[in-house]
Amino acid sequence: MTRPTLKTSAIAALMLGTASPALAQDICGGFGNNGQWIGGDEESSDITTSLAYREQMALVLGGNEYMSLFTLSAPTDIRVEAAGRGSGDPVIDLLDSTGDIILSDDDSGGNSASRAETSLDAGTYCMSVRSYDGGPMTAFVRIARQEQESLTDGISTPSSTPTGSCDTAVPYGTLGESVSASAAEVPFWSFELDGQTPITITAENETADPVITLYGPGETYIDENDDYDGLNSRLDVTDTLAAGTYCLGVTALSDDNAPITLSINPYDAEEALQALYARGEAAPPLDGSVPVTDLGVLTSRTRQDVQATEDVTWFSLDFEGAGLLVLEAIANGNSDPWLVLYDDLGRQIGLNDDYGDGLDSMIAVRLQEGTYIVGVRLFEGNQGFVRLVAEKYVRAD
């Protein structure tokens, strides 16, 4: 018998549903009831007394999470880590015995791996692992005391608070213009607002990976941002700001000497909305104000060739009756496509990048009858040919 592929296994799992849960034990407020003890059983999962780190291989199916369970018999300094295989990008949450999240992390392990170190009291804990893009993923999970060997290299992350103070800020100039300097050269900029003005601030250069922090008069903290669009940063301050002198702190998480292009402009609500559509973070309306190609009624399979860019190209399709929708964005390794799926009310149904071990994307989701909106884009400013495939499966009688 032919072994089913990961794709067909994922489809079968969605059609048949998930397995019945184990007998509830209210581990981590019930979130850990179907989890796996990191040491194989509860007694062997006491990190306080373990002679070595505890590790598991986690299979994360699309849209789900893997839960590792462990205990501490005394207050202990621990490290929790997850490293994806291939292009997998894990995200971790650490939960206490009541199910409250103690900490979360995405990339602190380096190379898309997750890592966090903390001190915990005696008790039972759960660490969940999920895929950043919602797709299936295989990852290694390790829980250990801080003096034991780590799974990941970790990264040296500078503080998002710039060195110095607003007293050393360099005047920005006129709103609507742009300036450029490295974070090492100018860690603080100052600017004046004459009246109650909502503003947009952007900091661009992915090589630098900028972080921006806005302070009001008297160095009162207002807001900060990192990685709004790729590794670039943006702040939309929609609350009107009173007249006065404001200060913007700039740091670089990757290269302090790389020039960062900084822009401060009056906030434009329509521009901000169009930017959300372009990045696929919101579904466009189907009123013609944003180009959306109608693929018609999906009966079995359709395909559409897309000249994709870093801005999302939008499609709509009609789904008659209940069934399973499988979407694929195929570039055969020539580019890195990304997929998102919304219903006609703008609720996100699925999102995926880098399905399996390649760069192509896939979403498999059960749907009810209705109209759905599909977005396709490429990462990192690329342009290229992508084949969009939509398939419909129905349950056999």
Split into its structural domains, the chain has a count of 3
Task: For residue 262, tell me if it sits in a domain.
Answer: yes
Last residue of some domain: 267, 292, 318?
Answer: 267
Task: For residue 194, tell me if it sits in a domain.
Answer: yes
Task: For residue 335, tell me if it sits in a domain.
Answer: yes
Residues 8-21: pLDDT tens digits?
434 433 333 333 33
Note whether 35 and 132 are same-domain residues.
yes
178: Cβ–Cβ under 8 A, 6 or more apart, which residues? 261, 262, 263
Query: CA neighbours within 13 Å on the CB side: how many for 244?
Result: 11
20: Cβ–Cβ under 8 A, 6 or more apart, which residues? none
Residues 214-265: pLDDT tens digits?
999 888 888 888 878 778 899 998 887 888 999 999 999 888 899 999 999 9
Last residue of some domain: 236, 267, 298?
Answer: 267
As a whole number of angstroms, the distance between CA 21 and CA 10 comes to 19
User: Which string of DSSP letters, residue by residue, matches 23-84?
Assistant: PP--GGGGTTTT-EETTSSSGGGBTTT-SS-EEEEEEE-TT-EEEEEEEESS-EEEEEEEEE
Task: For residue 201, tell me if it sits in a domain.
Answer: yes
Cβ atoms < 10 Å from Cβ of 356: 19
Strand 313-319 to 292-298 pairing: parallel
Residues 273-329: pLDDT tens digits?
998 899 898 999 999 999 999 999 999 999 999 999 989 999 999 999 999 999 999
Return the structure tokens found at 368: 């009810």
CATH number at residue 205: 2.60.120.380
Task: For residue 156, tell me if it sits in a domain.
Answer: no
Task: For residue 365, tell me if it sits in a domain.
Answer: yes
Longest CA span, the chain: 74
Task: For residue 296, tell me if it sits in a domain.
Answer: yes
Average pLDDT over residues 162-173: 84
345: Cβ–Cβ under 8 A, 6 or more apart, which residues? none
As a whole number of angstroms, the distance between CA 367 and CA 391 comes to 12
How far is the first Cα of the chain from the last one, in angstroms, to the nearest whole number?
24
Q: Kindly report the average pLDDT of the chain as a whole number.
A: 86
Note whether 227 and 327 are same-domain residues.
no
Cβ atoms < 10 Å from Cβ of 95: 23
Range of 90's domain? 21-145
Angle (nearest 5°) at CA 222 between 217 and 224:
130
What is the per-residue pLDDT for 20? 32
Ramachandran sector of residue 244 (left: φ over 0; alpha: ψ -120 to 50; beta: rest): left
Note whether 176 and 129 are same-domain residues.
no
As a whole number of angstroms, the distance between CA 365 and CA 391 comes to 11
Tokens 């990048």 — which residue? Answer: 353
Residues 37-61: pLDDT tens digits?
999 999 999 999 999 999 998 888 7
AA letter at 237: V
pTM value is: 0.56
Helix or strand holding residue 272 (H, E): helix 269-279
